[in-house]
């Protein structure tokens, strides 16, 4: 049986390096190694790294640096992975094997479709848990969740802050979800990769510490602007679960690369981490002003809310404009890449990533306006 494709990733992979303007990225303009390593001594240390295999579940230094950001955990609770993608893959595979008699995954929609896609490809059934627009706000359908959870449910998979909407689930939302999960004794997988990229205010609440059957996945790719390092992680409720998941990663990538493990350990040091987070938040808030103005100037054809976090805006096109057609026309006629809502199971929308340099963003938006003119 052929695998169902991960449409978002395949579409991006095919075009992102060929277009003149790529607004399909959901992170901020990536950092350079030179910006991350602030002293000559560190740069010299980088050049001296011997390119052997690294510790397969992440070096103790890296896992300690990650666990610092999750109070109450130690290095033993953490599995370092090759990006958030591997973290999500391992969590989904593990959940599927752990629950052979429960073949349903409740999966937040809209979403980055990786976890749901893997679950389906493993032969399981995916049940949507909707984020809906209620009174102009993205709102989780808690009543719907209560109605769909059953003896067949293995886990609930959420993404907060959410890709593509930028919605942050409140503490109240998280508590409502764990109450339901707890009643049915099911796992919660919480992808929190955009935490730290808030548009304003406090850091988004985490599932960490709220419920003992939670697996948190994250990485340095979005809020840290370091996707090229390919470093992600899973925060497990116990060292035993972390060890089990490690067995799975022996079959996938063996280990994160040695240079990335070392660079990631530096990025996660509290001082460096807060410098990076400040940079990310600055990019998100300054570039949002550009986006907001652009959305207002095209309000006859589209509408979009400010994301609560992440440099992405999920924009509703006027009824009658087909989102897939629009994105393909933009690609072919204007050499600009964005993502259609269809790739998040939500047709009628487009997702624009606005984390790039401002001048680049403005030029790309001008081209989208030119295409919009043809619908006027
Ligand atoms: C919600 C979410 N999780 C995971 C990933 C994969 O992240 P990484 O680049 O760290 O593998 C992405 C990438 O876009 C994402 O949006």
Residue spans per domain, the chain: 7-32+273-371, 53-269
Q: Do the two domains 7-32+273-371 and 53-269 of this chain adopt the same fold?
A: no
Q: Ligand 1 centre and the CA of 241: distance in Å?
A: 22
* Ligand 1 atom closest to residue 162's alpha carbon, by position in its atom list: 1
What is the distance between the alpha carbons of residues 131 and 215, in angstroms, rounded to a whole number? 21
φ, ψ at 285 (rounded to 5°)? -75, -40
* Ligand 1, CB cutoff 6 Å, lining residues: 26, 83-85, 88, 112, 159, 163, 191, 193, 219, 221, 227, 232
Closest ligand 1 atom, residue 88 Cα:
4
CA of 315 to the centre of ligand 1 (A): 20
**Which atom of ligand 1 has the smallest separation from the CA of 221?**
10
Q: Token digits for 272?
A: 């460096």
The rounded Å distance from CA 141 to ligand 1 centre is 24
Strand order in the sheet with 302-304: 302-304, 312-317, 349-353, 339-340
Give me the pLDDT at residue 1, please.
80
Residue 187: the pLDDT is 98
How far, in Å, is the centroid of ligand 1 from the Cα of 10?
A: 14
- 112 CA distance to ligand 1 centroid (A)? 8
Q: Ligand 1: distance of its center to the CA of 12 in Å?
A: 13
Domain 53-269 in this protein, CATH class: alpha beta
Please give, one letter per residue, the 3-state secondary structure of the chain: CCCCCCHHHHHHHHHCCCCCEECCCCCCCCCCHHHHCCCHHHHHHHHCCCCCCCCCCCCHHHHHHHHCCCCCCCHHHEEEEEHHHHHHHHHHHHHHHHCCCCCEEEEEECCCCHHHHHHHHCCCEEEEEEEEEECCEEEECHHHHHHHCCCCEEEEEEECCCCCCCCCCCHHHHHHHHHHHHHHCCEEEEECCCCCCECCCCCCCCCCCCCCCEEEEEECCCCCCCHHHCEEEEECCCHHHHHHHHHHHCCCCCCCCHHHHHHHHHHCCHHHHHHHHHHHHHHHHHHHHHHHHHHHHCCCCEEECCCCECCEEEEEECCCCCHHHHHHHHHHHHCEECEEHHHHCCCCEEEEECCCCHHHHHHHHHHHHHHHHCCC
Which tens digits make up the pLDDT trace of 73-100? 999 999 999 999 999 999 999 999 998 8
**Is the whole-model pTM more than 0.75?**
yes
Q: Best mutation site among 163, 166, 167 for ligand 1, i.e. most ligand atoms within 8 A of its Cβ?
A: 163
Ligand 1 probe mutation, 114, 168, 229, most atoms within 8 A of CB: 114
193 C-alpha to ligand 1 centroid (Å): 7
Q: Which atom of ligand 1 is nearest to the CA of 230?
A: 10
**Packed helices 270-297 and 258-267: angle between N→C axes, nearest 10 degrees:** 80
Select from 16, 112, 232 the residue to mutate for testing ligand 1; criterion: most ligand atoms less than 8 Å from CB. Answer: 112
Is 7-32+273-371 a CATH 3.40.47.10 domain? Answer: no
Residues of the chain under the 50 pLDDT cut: none
Ligand 1: centre distance to CA 108 (Å): 15
């Amino acid at each position: 049986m052929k695998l169902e494709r991960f449409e978002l990733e395949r579409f991006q992979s095919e075009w992102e390096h060929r277009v003149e303007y790529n607004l399909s990225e959901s992170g901020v303009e990536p950092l350079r190694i030179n910006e991350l390593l602030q002293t000559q001594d560190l740069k010299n240390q980088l050049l001296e790294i011997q390119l052997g295999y690294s510790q397969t579940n992440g070096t103790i230094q890296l896992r300690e640096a990650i666990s610092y950001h999750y109070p109450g955990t130690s290095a033993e609770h953490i599995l370092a992975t090759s990006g958030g993608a591997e973290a999500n893959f391992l969590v989904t595979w593990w959940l599927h094997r752990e629950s052979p008699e429960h073949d349903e995954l409740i999966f937040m929609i809209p979403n980055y479709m990786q976890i749901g896609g893997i679950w389906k490809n493993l032969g399981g059934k995916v049940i949507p848990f909707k984020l809906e627009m209620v009174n102009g706000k993205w709102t989780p359908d808690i009543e719907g969740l209560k109605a769909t959870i059953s003896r067949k449910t293995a886990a609930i998979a959420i993404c907060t802050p959410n890709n593509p909407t930028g919605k942050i689930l409140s503490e109240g939302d998280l508590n409502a979800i764990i109450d339901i999960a707890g009643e049915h004794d099911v796992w919660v997988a919480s992808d929190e990769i955009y935490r730290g990229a808030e548009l304003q205010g406090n850091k988004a609440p985490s599932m960490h510490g709220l419920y003992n059957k939670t697996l948190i996945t994250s990485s340095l790719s979005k809020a840290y602007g370091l996707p090229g390092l390919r470093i992600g992680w899973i925060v497990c409720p116990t060292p035993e679960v972390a060890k089990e998941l490690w067995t799975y990663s022996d079959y996938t990538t063996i280990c994160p690369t040695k240079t990335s493990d070392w660079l990631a350990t530096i990025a996660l040091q509290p001082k460096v981490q807060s410098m990076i987070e400040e940079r990310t938040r600055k990019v998100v808030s300054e570039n949002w002003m550009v986006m907001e103005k652009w959305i207002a100037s095209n309000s006859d054809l589209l509408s979009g809310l400010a994301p609560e976090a992440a440099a992405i805006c999920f924009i509703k096109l006027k009824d009658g404009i087909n989102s897939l057609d629009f994105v393909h026309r933009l690609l072919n006629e204007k050499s600009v890449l964005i993502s259609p809502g269809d790739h998040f199971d939500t047709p009628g929308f487009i997702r624009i990533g606005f984390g790039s340099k401002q001048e680049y963003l403005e030029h790309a938006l001008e081209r989208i306006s030119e295409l919009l003119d043809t619908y006027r």
